[in-house]
Amino acid sequence: MTHAPSLHSRAQRVLAGETIAAARLIRDVDDRREAARADLRELFPHVGKAHIIGVTGSPGVGKSSLVDALITEWRARGKTVAVVAVDPSSPFTGGAILGDRIRMQTHSLDPGVFIRSVASRGFLGGLSPSIDEIVLVFDAMGFDVILVETVGVGQGEVDIIRSSHTTLVVLSPNSGDDVQGLKAGLLEVADIFVVNKADLPGADRTRTMLKRMVNLGQGALRDPGWAIPTRSTSTTQGTPEERGIAALVDACVEHRDHLRGGPGLAERNASRLRSYVLRLAGEGLAGRLEKALLAHPDLAELERGETDPYAVANALIGTVTHEDL
Ligand SMILES: Nc1nc2c(ncn2[C@@H]2O[C@H](COP(=O)(O)OP(=O)(O)O)[C@@H](O)[C@H]2O)c(=O)[nH]1
Ligand SMILES: [Mg+2]
């Protein structure tokens, strides 16, 4: 039988589970190519099944190692898993850190696992703006679990973390994340605390301090109806019980069930949609503003000092908001 891809849109091939089509779409998404837009629109009605889990924490605490271990555990439970890892990459090369790709290659022959690293584009601790679109592609492909690994700093990143269903905030005993000095922001985004490197000295102390902090939550908690659990893990040493990976997956499942049993799931999905729309609208407007400014008659006046930036900005907004996005 001959292959007739022209009969099918790329989106349809992605929906049919063709990983090559998915990989190309994700590349176009990451390069912010216009071609991706039609595919994403076609995929949109097919999302909503996945459990989206953010894994965040300082560099070196063991997020990638943990993601690797979580993939193995979820696969053992018969779930398919997709991962998007944001690497704090050099703004000069824009490339993702090779180590993550190599480490996760253990899963590269497993069709139930799909892993992509994207560069963070160099804005401070920043998040590639394409993350939510890559999550959309994974979700439409039907993956049961989607893990998003990010370094937990920067506003753009916090927005994405907020729109995960479940956020794991990962610490390690020696990561310099003094728990008492832990940013209040982390308490606001955490659904589950993970003390990784439990094999190292000081892990128990970190865990105790985290628990105390959760108990003193003082209204900063993301979800007052959910008691944030703290789990200890080791990706390198110990018996399966000591490594704690199964217990961590159990906690993720409990949290998902908690969200499903109340308004939490709908709220988080709505929050993700809002930030998605805002980003799209913002990008669309920014492009138009830039174009309109270059052609704007007031620009010459501004350069001659005959008007001021505020007046031109107002006039410019007036110009572009009369156009459709
Ligand atoms: N002792 C110990 N080292 C770990 C553990 N998990 C990860 N590491 C090490 O910590 C370093 C950073 O791990 P990585 O997963 O890249 O951290 P990330 O930057 O948070 O993604 C690596 O050298 C890992 O081998 C653990 O459970 N125990
Ligand atoms: Mg990593």
Is the CB–ligand 1 distance for residue 83 below 6 Å? no
Please indicate whether residue 275 or residue 241 has the higher confidence score (pLDDT).
241
Q: What is the pLDDT of residues 39-65, one digit of tens each?
A: 999 999 999 999 999 998 888 889 999
Measured CA to CA in angstroms, residue 25 lies from 7, 36, 43, 136, 138 at distances of 17, 6, 11, 11, 11
Is the CB–ligand 1 distance for residue 59 below 6 Å? yes
Atom number in ligand 1 closest to CA 235? 27
Domains of the chain from N-terminus onward: 1-45 (no CATH), 47-261 (3.40.50.300), 277-320 (no CATH)
Q: What is the mean pLDDT of residues 231-243?
A: 94
pLDDT (0 to 100) of residue 230: 94
Q: Is 26 within 8 Å of 40 (Cβ atoms)?
A: no
Question: Strand 51-56 to strand 113-119: parallel, antiparallel, or no bridges (unpaired)?
Answer: unpaired
Measured CA to CA in angstroms, residue 152 lies from 55, 186, 254, 325 at distances of 9, 8, 23, 32
Q: Is 72 within 8 Å of 135 (Cβ atoms)?
A: no
Full 3-state SS string of the chain = CCCCHHHCCHHHHHHCCCHHHHHHHHHHHHCCCCHHHHHHHHHHHHCCCCEEEEEECCCCCCHHHHHHHHHHHHHHCCCCEEEEEEECCCCCCCCCCHHHHHHHHHHCCCCCEEEEEEECCCCCCCCCCCHHHHHHHHHHHCCCEEEEEECCCCHHHHHHHHCCCEEEEEECCCCCCCHHHCCHHHHHHCCEEEECCCCCCCHHHHHHHHHHHHHCCCCCCCCCCCCCCEEECCCCCCCHHHHCHHHHHHHHHHHHHHHHCCCHHHHHHHHHHHHHHHHHHHHHHHHHHHHHHHCCCHHHHHHCCCCCHHHHHHHHHHHHCCCCC
Nearest CA to ligand 1 atom 17: 62
Show the tokens assigned to 56: 């965040």
Is the CB–ligand 1 distance for residue 56 below 6 Å? no
Per-residue pLDDT band for 223 (boundaries 50, 70, 90) equals: confident
Show the tokens assigned to 288: 């138009």
In the reported structure, the alpha carbon of residue 286 is separated from the centroid of ligand 2 by a whole-number distance in angstroms of 32
Per-residue pLDDT band for 229 (boundaries 50, 70, 90) equals: very high
pLDDT (0 to 100) of residue 300: 92
Per-residue pLDDT band for 96 (boundaries 50, 70, 90) equals: very low
Torsion, CA 169, CA 174, CA 175, CA 179, rounded to 10 = 60
Nearest CA to ligand 1 atom 9: 62
| Confidence check: pLDDT of 19 > 70 | yes
| Confidence check: pLDDT of 78 > 90 | yes
Q: Is 194 within 8 Å of 231 (Cβ atoms)?
A: yes
In the reported structure, the alpha carbon of residue 295 is separated from the centroid of ligand 2 by a whole-number distance in angstroms of 44
Question: How many Cβ atoms are within 10 Å of 292's Cβ, its own excluded?
Answer: 18
User: Of 55, 58, 61, 65, which is best to mutate to test ligand 1, by the most ligand atoms within 8 angstroms of its C-beta?
Assistant: 65
pLDDT (0 to 100) of residue 126: 40
Q: What is the pLDDT of residues 190-221, one digit of tens each?
A: 899 999 999 999 999 888 888 888 887 655 67
What is d(CA 224, CA 31) in angstroms, rounded to the nearest whole number? 39
